[in-house]
Amino acid sequence: MAPTQKHIAIVGGGTAGWLAALMLQKAAQASDGLRISVIESPDIPTVGVGEGSTSVFRQVLLDLGIDEVEFLRATGATLKFGIKHAGWRKDGKDYFGPIDDPNALAPPPGGAPSNWLHHAQIAAGKRVADTHLFTALMRGNKSAYARKDGKLIPLSPYHHAYHFDQARLGRFLASKATGIDHIQTEVAALLRDPASGDITALQCSGDRQIDVDFVIDCTGFRRAIIGQMGAEWKSYGAMLPLNKAIPFWLDHDPKADIAPYTLARAMDAGWMWGIPVHDRMGCGYVFSDAHINADQAKDELETRLRRPVEIRRQIDIDPGRLDQSWIGNCVAVGLAQSFLEPLEATSIHGTLVQMLLLLRATPTQLAAGPLPTERAAFNQTVAGQVDDFADFINIHYAGGRRDTPFWADMTEGGITARQRDRIAAWQHTPLSRNSFTPLPGGLPHVEEQLYTPVLGGLGLLGKDASARAVGSPGLKKQARSALAQLHQDFTGAARKAIRHRTFLASLAARD
């Protein structure tokens, strides 16, 4: 290494590590004298039972210049338009949580909240999800494309998300990392400056020493680097009591459609995820071991699914986050920074947004350090981001079920005081963008566009509050007109869209 060359090392590969490396490389394109490496242990296994993203992942892929069709074919990924929440309501009914935002196509008139079309729908006693294109695509098991003259024609003005296998995605991203050093070794120890505490080198297996100027910890649950820098864990166990998961695979029914949504199916002591990738279904039961053990959970799965399941392993979950994500010249992102139960795809979304926040400083600035002001702001913002994620997941359990001990406990005391107060307030004051603290630079976050479909789906938004949000006759008329036009447009688009399974099969058949 040349004496003047700065080195940023990402420790840990996988989805988080390779995404961090590619985003860092793109941000550093105009910088000279910067080396980027991914240091990855060859012996770390992956569970590989499917993961979902948010639409931010698609935006980042396109920004990195990655072709969507190539990505889908190489990884066996599928499209995702939202989540089907099965059995979360006290009446046992299902609801969809679509991730598109119809309000973006019909901006609110002056004085109306940003989610004005949602409020118009609630005030009329109708389902929030019915205002969404993605709901129509989910119900019809459709893709977001039509085919004309042998070409795929996009039908949606929104970014969709994906389902994928983490191991295959990691290998695909690594194949795109031209110009990034890939070092397969185990980091055994840190060498640190005695005065500043910064990492100066990584001591690796085989007595290899790698000098570094900045380190990004993507080692997942091991937190192999940040854990040695003094970071402490803040647990969310009191508000998110699901602390075990048993993942497994299911085969697709060859005669059935492949769903373009994540299934979140309520179970006796938690919920089951279903992530459809191209060739199979990645599943798992996330549960509270205060209410059920792993053998009982497996029995419940087999009774519900009417088939045997082969549990791949048991995962222990301690939901929470680091008190500091960035210490000295080391920052942790992804699972090394936080982990919540796998609802609403917060893990990869958090990784991407945290990298976008980090890259508000240039890679050259990160390598030169020490950036105390930027570090303090980053730590505060990321802590708030993950706290907001935890709040959002917690409120999913507010549907009022009491039919099993777990659901009775969540209904009677599992919803935090903050979220109970917000639900009560939203019966009288319309839920809106003003209810949330935005991230810097308008980066995507959990705000009214996601809360409204979930709380509307659970039946927890007051009609009176929504009626006040669109109270004037003129505003009501505009809302009715906008909703009618969107319904016509969305119905037409869903009718033209090719089926999801057909779309995936056509990609696999292409040369």
Give the tens place of pLDDT for each residue, 170-215: 999 999 999 999 999 999 999 999 999 999 999 999 889 999 999 9
Tens of pLDDT, residues 445-494 = 999 999 999 999 999 998 999 999 998 889 999 999 999 999 999 999 99
The verdict on 218 and 88 lying in the same domain is: no
Amino acid symbol at 190: L
The verdict on 153 and 249 lying in the same domain is: yes
The verdict on 468 and 367 lying in the same domain is: no
Percent of the chain with pLDDT over 70: 97
Contact 353, 182 (CB under 8 A): no
Tens of pLDDT, residues 355-392 = 999 999 999 999 999 999 999 999 999 999 999 999 99
DSSP labels for 9-61?
Answer: EEE--HHHHHHHHHHHHHHTTT-SSEEEEEEE-TT-----S-EE--HHHHHHH
- H or E, element range at 311: none
The rounded mean pLDDT for the chain is 94
Residues 77 and 50: their CA atoms lie apart, in Å, by 9
pLDDT of residue 48: 62
What band does 110 get if pLDDT is binned at 50, 70 and 90? confident
The verdict on 182 and 233 lying in the same domain is: yes
Mean pLDDT confidence for 82-103: 97
Tens of pLDDT, residues 217-244 = 999 999 999 999 999 999 999 999 999 9
* Residue 481 three-state SS: helix
Mean pLDDT confidence for 399-425: 97
Domain count, the chain: 2
What is the CATH number for 484? 3.50.50.60
The verdict on 27 and 108 lying in the same domain is: no
For residue 32, pLDDT beyond 70:
no
> Is 506 domain-assigned?
no
The verdict on 485 and 406 lying in the same domain is: yes
Residues 301 and 291: their CA atoms lie apart, in Å, by 15
SS (H, E, C) 189-249: EEEECCCCCCEEEEEEHHHEEEECCEEEECCHHHCCCHHHCCCCEEECCCCCCCCEEEEEE
- Residue 258, Cα to own-chain centre: how many angstroms? 21
- Residue 451, Cα to own-chain centre: how many angstroms? 15
Mean pLDDT confidence for 320-337: 97
Q: What is the pTM of this model?
A: 0.95
Tens of pLDDT, residues 268-287 = 999 999 999 999 999 999 99
